[in-house]
């Protein structure tokens, strides 16, 4: 059968979870991201660990999240927050050991919580045994695992993923041991894997199989949009569709309920390759995330609503994972230069708040500044088509530390209480040294224990939003109707539910449907028609509306 027929999607109108090859649980999951090293210390060394995470599962369960995204916890030098992986089949000794992961899987599953592992397939560390063998012996089978050139390729001066940082001068570096150049789209200590190699691809399936056997329910594929990038030398590029079809067939036989979440930061028109035929179940919604920042900065709902519509047009049967802020920079590369500068002017006016010329390194709550805007944006996360992703600390509004280098500004220990050590650790070493103790986002003012006791807290709002989202599964559908409204109002209707969010600091008029109806969550109207500044409103519509 010709390739163009074999890869044609015969189900263009299907909704999330309809593909027989695609598990549907991920489309109704609330994902909660955890950087284990910074979540809970169980042994007093100042670093979070898997046993500490187990001890805090009740918090995640009470929140209402039912899937934990585990950032890399594998052996690593932690030069790139764990993404510089030295071995994919183990646990960083600072974080625990394999038996601790088994315990986590057992305890999480007992609470109805699934585990989504961050899988780094685009590169390894240069300390990885594969690269060490590849460097030392050109006849080694591992030589073909990486991308080499005897001479410096002409694209060596191309910008890396982290322009301006150390170890990022171009995307090719010289290996004295190998007597050749190797490609690295990230840091020079993270050589790119050659996904076109059948040997590498079999290793990938073996790694997934290993963690499935230990209790993994799904995988977030890191830098998935770069796995098949056409950068390098002839023969280096793998066919994305064929590789992903092969992976889906493998998972269907091995573990059909295992789900895949892709980090594919590409324009919507390039995304069908990743969605087609149930290849990847969900993709992170980067374009709406950028558009949200643009809309917030301008108090104009237009950019956000246009981005939602553009996603729907590009991949009608797709499913999106919406997010506010991850633990990297807030990457605004989808915005035009002029629009990005407007966002910078509002949310990152100082040079030390920006990074790579494209991103912001401030935390979400400090950027939003006003308590009402923090609450409104969290509500909006749950109102967007798709499913929500929270990162640990967002449920209480944690801050940042711009005194730390680069993206580390938002990679901070969890704030559990106001006691010394913030309930995170009894130590002042390791990650505990970076605990925020002072200021408006310090442990005395922002912590789980205090918000647990306050029914009006952000923590209680997030719990209510998760309950409401679960009660109305139609919100996860990509089929949504935008309601005509004031310039600053984001208003959507999903069957019998309508939601509105005011991006402006002053009251704005609501659409008629949202001024009436049964209020499920949010603000009462002013004068029967106005939504307060930074207000939000979820209503049940009368039958037939």
Q: Which 3-state string (H, E, C) describes 250-284?
A: HHHHHCCCCEEEECCCCCHHHCHHHHHHHCCCEEE
Rg for the chain (alpha carbons), in Å?
23
CB contact at 8 A, 108 and 115: yes
CATH class of 3-121+198-466: alpha beta
Residues with Cβ < 8 Å from 273, sequence gap 6 or more?
Answer: 240, 241, 244, 279
CB contact at 8 A, 225 and 263: yes
CB contact at 8 A, 292 and 326: no
Q: What is the pTM of this model?
A: 0.94
What is the 3-state secondary structure of 413-459?
CCCCCCCHHHHCCCCCCHHHHHCCCCCCCCCCCCCHHHHHCCCCCHH
DSSP letter string, 310-371 = HHHHH-TT--EEEES--SS-EE-TTS-HHHHHHHHHHH--SGGGEETTTEE-S-HHHHH-SH
User: In this structure, what are the phi and psi dihedrals at residue 16, rounded to the nearest 5 degrees?
Assistant: -55, 135
What pLDDT does residue 233 have?
Answer: 66
What pLDDT does residue 8 have?
Answer: 33
Low-confidence ranges of the chain (pLDDT < 70): 1-22, 230-236, 316-318, 476-479, 544-545
User: In this structure, what are the phi and psi dihedrals at residue 209, rounded to the nearest 5 degrees?
Assistant: -60, -40
Residues with Cβ < 8 Å from 32, sequence gap 6 or more?
Answer: 60, 63, 65, 67, 68, 69, 390, 391, 392
CB contact at 8 A, 183 and 231: yes
What pLDDT does residue 477 have?
Answer: 67
Angle at which helix 371-383 crosses helix 458-471, to 10 degrees, equals 20
**Residue numbers annotated as active site:** 222, 263
* Burial bucket for residue 78 (CB in 10 Å: 0-12, 13-18, 19+): middle
What residue ranges of the chain are covered by domains with CATH 3.20.20.80?
Answer: 3-121+198-466
What pLDDT does residue 156 have?
Answer: 75
What is the side-by-side order of every strand in the sheet holding 481-482?
481-482, 489-494, 497-502, 536-540, 518-522
Residue identified by tokens 């553009």 is 310
Pick one of 3.40.50.720, 3.30.1330.120, 3.30.70.600, 2.60.40.1180 as the CATH number of 481-540: 2.60.40.1180
Cα 220 to Cα 64, 208, 283, 431, distances in angstroms? 20, 11, 9, 24
Helix (H, G, I), strand (E, B) or coil at 132: helix
Report the run of H or E that residue 308 belongs to, with start and end: helix 302-314
Largest CA distance in the chain: 78
What pLDDT does residue 478 have?
Answer: 59
* Burial bucket for residue 157 (CB in 10 Å: 0-12, 13-18, 19+): exposed
What residue ranges of the chain are covered by domains with CATH 2.60.40.1180?
Answer: 481-540
What pLDDT does residue 164 have?
Answer: 81
What residue ranges of the chain are covered by domains with CATH 3.90.400?
Answer: 129-183
CB contact at 8 A, 398 and 367: no
The region that residue 428 occupies, defined by phi over 0 for left and psi between -120 and 50 for alpha, beta otherwise, is alpha
**In CATH terms, is domain 129-183 a member of 3.90.400?**
yes
* Burial bucket for residue 87 (CB in 10 Å: 0-12, 13-18, 19+): middle
């Amino acid at each position: 059968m010709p390739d163009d027929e074999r890869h044609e999607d015969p189900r263009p109108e299907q909704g999330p979870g309809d593909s027989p090859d695609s598990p549907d649980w991920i489309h109704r999951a609330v994902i909660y991201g955890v950087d284990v090293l910074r979540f809970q210390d169980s042994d007093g060394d100042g670093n979070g660990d898997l046993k500490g995470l187990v001890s805090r599962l009740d918090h995640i369960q009470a929140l209402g999240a039912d899937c934990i995204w585990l950032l890399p916890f594998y052996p690593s030098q932690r030069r790139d927050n764990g993404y510089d992986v030295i071995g994919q089949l183990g646990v960083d000794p600072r974080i625990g050991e394999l038996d601790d992961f088994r315990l986590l899987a057992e305890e999480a599953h007992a609470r109805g919580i699934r585990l989504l592992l961050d899988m780094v397939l685009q590169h390894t560390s240069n300390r990885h045994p594969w690269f060490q063998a590849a460097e030392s012996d050109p006849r080694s089978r591992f030589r073909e695992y990486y991308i080499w050139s005897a001479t410096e390729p002409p694209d060596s001066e191309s910008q890396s993923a982290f322009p301006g940082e150390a170890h990022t001068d171009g995307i090719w570096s010289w290996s004295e041991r190998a007597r050749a150049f190797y490609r690295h789209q990230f840091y020079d200590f993270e050589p790119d894997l050659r996904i076109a190699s059948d040997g590498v691809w079999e290793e990938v399936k073996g790694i997934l199989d290993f963690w499935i056997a230990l209790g993994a329910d799904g995988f977030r594929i890191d830098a998935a949009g770069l796995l098949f990038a056409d950068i390098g030398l002839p023969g280096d590029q793998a066919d994305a569709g064929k590789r992903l079809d092969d992976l889906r067939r493998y998972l269907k036989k091995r573990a059909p309920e295992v789900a895949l979440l892709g980090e594919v930061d590409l324009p919507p028109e390039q995304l069908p390759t990743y969605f087609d035929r149930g290849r990847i179940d969900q993709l992170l919604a980067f374009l709406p995330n950028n558009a949200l920042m643009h809309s917030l900065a301008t108090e104009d709902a237009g950019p956000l609503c246009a981005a939602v519509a553009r996603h729907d047009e590009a991949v009608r049967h797709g499913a999106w994972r919406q997010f506010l802020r991850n633990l990297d920079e807030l990457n605004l590369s989808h915005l035009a230069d002029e629009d990005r500068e407007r966002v910078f002017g509002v949310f990152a006016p100082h040079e030390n708040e920006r990074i790579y010329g494209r991103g912001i390194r401030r935390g979400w709550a400090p950027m939003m500044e006003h308590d009402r805007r923090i609450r409104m944006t969290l509500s909006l996360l749950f109102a967007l088509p798709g499913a929500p992703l929270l990162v640990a600390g967002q449920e209480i509004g944690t801050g940042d530390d711009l005194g730390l280098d680069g993206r580390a500004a938002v990679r901070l220990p969890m704030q559990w209480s106001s006691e010394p050590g913030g309930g995170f650790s009894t130590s002042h070493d390791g990650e505990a040294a970076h605990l925020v103790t002072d200021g408006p986002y310090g442990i005395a003012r922002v912590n789980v224990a205090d918000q647990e006791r306050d029914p009006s807290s952000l923590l209680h709002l997030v719990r209510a939003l998760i309950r409401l989202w679960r009660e109305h599964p139609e919100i996860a559908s990509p089929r949504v109707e935008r309601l005509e409204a004031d310039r600053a109002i984001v208003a959507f209707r999903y069957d019998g539910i309508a939601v509105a969010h005011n991006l402006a600091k002053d009251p704005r008029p609501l659409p008629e449907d949202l001024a009436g109806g049964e209020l499920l969550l949010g603000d009462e109207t002013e004068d029967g028609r106005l939504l307060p500044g930074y207000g939000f409103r979820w209503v049940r519509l009368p039958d037939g509306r």
